Structure 1
Amino acid sequence: MTEAITSYKPGKPGNATVLMLHGTGGTESDLLSIADFLAPDSPKIGIRGRLVENDLTRYFAHLPDGGFDLDSLAVETRWLMTVIDELAVEYAFDPAQLIVLGYSNGANVAYYSLLTGQAKFKTAVLLHPMVLSSDVKTDIDLSDIKIWGSHGFLDPIVSKSNFGELKNFCQQADIDFTSFEAEQSHQISESELRDAEQWLVATNRLKIEE
């Protein structure tokens, strides 16, 4: 298998697998309690970002000026998609029925993979995502993708305009996007998790389609 640090928690048969993508400095198990809350009966898989910057794990690198390294983003996204395909074989799940749970850095790479047409998964809960690149695919059908994304008005990392751009890109790509916006910062709140839980149940994608 492609070199990767992963975690796995089995679930009940018939339930879609949840893929956990952590925030900056996180690990493959950081989002397990949230994944258990959102999808208690689902198997859970975590993949740790393989890059380390300033002793913090990440899914892609930054430039010296603090901007996003788009070359690193492209390379690491391809790596992540390869790892997902290999885990799908190992744990016998369909990548198209995977539910992605991403926070911050992990949400960003998940969003990028969807909007550039690289991802096979079609359902994502993205906690505090942001736009990294305007490389949006408009020549492929993304209408079957469902994304729930959250934003805090007080977020010092993700601006209101950036989140607005993210929503606009989804609209352009005909993606079914549901947003949760509240008077909070970059931290995850109980209210947004409850909203995400309700949304996920409503998608009917927690169960595997036979």
Structure 2
Amino acid sequence: MTDLALVTSEPRQSSSRSPLLVMLHGYGSHEQDLIGLVDFIDPRYRVVSVRAPLELDMGGFAWFPIEFSPVGMVMDMDEGLRSRDRLLSMLEQTQRQYGNDDSDTVTLGFSQGGAMALSMLLTAPGKLAGTAFLSGVWLRELLPDDAQSLTALEGKPVLQTHGLHDPLLPINKAHKTRDILESLPLDLTYREYPMGHEINGECLQDVSTWLAGRLPSG
């Protein structure tokens, strides 16, 4: 049994084996946040939304602590690595529970949760069919030191979305992240929108379409 708190939305359309979508919320949020998107997602998905392990004094939860200083954000990456390892353990247990594997398991993360979702894919590409990476940025410290997994990344689908007017993670950071991801053998889809640090209607439609595209037709 995983030690992370989860909320599950069962598939609204039955299939022989329901694909698995794992959602990871952003800093200061909780597992009930992204689960509200299920009505806009292909009904064949079983959706599992995960609560980050660190409770914040201001309320909500985080995958790793962030301090906001005059020179910018200071992040505790050691805690982030521990959270990633717990997420990978949770993923294995959840896949085993529902009979899923790398062919039908996708992650979706927003902001800090997006960084965690991307870290999971790049650390253990053999466990996932793809990742939707929303309003997040590349964090080198959360990635593996070796390059042995590059071959396993070949053709792995990644959706990156970002707001042109994001006040927390400016669009230039998203462009740098995009350029790095394009240098890897991923199947990257990049989209940006006239929005802030959020998921607007156009973004949600693109996410929905991309997630549906990860499923077999028919």
With the shorter chain as reference, the TM-score category is: 0.7 to 0.9
**1:82-117 deviation digits (Å, cap 9, x = unpaired):** 011111222222244212121112111111222334
Indicate the percent of aligned positions where both proteins have the same amino acid: 23
Between the aligned partners of 2:44 and 2:125, the Cα distance in structure 1 is 27
**Equivalent residue for 1:51, pick from 51, 54, 66:** 54
Q: 2:66 is matched with which residue?
A: 62
Question: Mapping of 1:4-153 within 5 angstroms?
Answer: 4-11=4-11, 12-13=14-15, 14-54=17-57, 55-63=59-67, 65=69, 66-117=73-124, 120-133=127-140, 135=143, 138-140=147-149, 141=151, 142-153=153-164
CA apart distance, 1:63: 5.0
Aligned pair 1:164/2:175, yes or no?
Answer: yes
- Is the 8 Å Cα contact of residues 126 and 147 (structure 1) preserved in structure 2? yes
Between the aligned partners of 1:130 and 1:71, the Cα distance in structure 2 is 17
- Is the 8 Å Cα contact of residues 123 and 147 (structure 1) preserved in structure 2? yes
Between the aligned partners of 1:119 and 1:32, the Cα distance in structure 2 is 25
Q: 1:2 is matched with which residue?
A: 2
- Is the 8 Å Cα contact of residues 68 and 132 (structure 1) preserved in structure 2? no
CA apart distance, 1:118: 6.2
Question: In 2 relative to 1, CA 172–19 (structure 1 residues): closer, same or farther, beyond 3 Å?
Answer: same
- Is the 8 Å Cα contact of residues 97 and 122 (structure 1) preserved in structure 2? yes
Unaligned stretches of 5+ residues in structure 1: none
Q: Which amino acid is the alignment partner of residue 59 of structure 1?
A: W
Aligned pair 1:195/2:202, yes or no?
Answer: no
For the residue of structure 1 that corresponds to 2:160, the secondary structure is strand
- Is the 8 Å Cα contact of residues 54 and 62 (structure 2) preserved in structure 1? yes
The count of corresponding residues between Structure 1 and Structure 2 is 206
CA apart distance, 1:38: 2.0
Q: Which amino acid is the alignment partner of residue 198 of structure 1?
A: T
Q: Identify the range of structure 1 (191-200 vs 113-122) with the bigger mean alpha-carbon deviation.
A: 113-122
Question: In 2 relative to 1, CA 28–123 (structure 1 residues): closer, same or farther, beyond 3 Å?
Answer: same
For the residue of structure 1 that corresponds to 2:7, the secondary structure is strand
- TM-score, normalization: structure 2? 0.84
Q: Which amino acid is the alignment partner of residue 86 of structure 2?
A: W
- Is the 8 Å Cα contact of residues 18 and 35 (structure 1) preserved in structure 2? no
Question: In 2 relative to 1, CA 162–121 (structure 1 residues): closer, same or farther, beyond 3 Å?
Answer: same
For the residue of structure 2 that corresponds to 1:158, the secondary structure is coil
Between the aligned partners of 2:32 and 2:102, the Cα distance in structure 1 is 20
Question: In 2 relative to 1, CA 79–49 (structure 1 residues): closer, same or farther, beyond 3 Å?
Answer: same
**1:119-156 deviation digits (Å, cap 9, x = unpaired):** 72121222211122264654322113111111111101
